[in-house]
Amino acid sequence: MGLTMGDVILLAAIPLFLLLICIEYWFDRRRGTGYYRLNDVFSSLSVGIVIRSSKLVVFGLGAYVMQHLLPNLALPLFTEAQYQWLAWPLAFVVYDFLYYWAHRMAHQINFFWAAHSVHHQSEDYNLTKALR
């Protein structure tokens, strides 16, 4: 399993992210606003690293499902050549719909909020929070 284009772009962008974080930190110190607290910076970067690393488990599970379960569960509609074009737009809409409801549940159900609240914990917004 090789790197996807998204992975390559992210790896190429990491030095740029770090440079921009340093520039933003320098401007914050020069202006004296105090929006950059180093404990928040390290916390945000750590959360980002954990999230990226945990995706390996998700991709592994997804690869297993696609290899072993999906061929047996394919909808007959999408196995016919004239309807295969419909699979991608439908998948996009279904994914977006499910993402919306998962995110909404993360805000409204305490069990899910416990994991999602990290996304909202910082008092100040800067580039490290955006990269979370």
Both tokens assigned to 129:
């929070």
pLDDT computed for residue 130 by the predictor: 67
Q: Which residues of the chain have pLDDT under 50?
A: none
pLDDT attached to residue 11: 77
- Amino acid residing at 60: G
pTM exceeding 0.75: no
Q: Domain locations in the chain?
A: 5-130
pLDDT digits (tens, 9 = 90+) for 43-76: 778 877 777 777 778 778 878 877 887 777 766 6
Q: What is the pLDDT of residue 104?
A: 92
Tokens of 22: 């340093």
Q: What is the pLDDT of residue 2?
A: 61
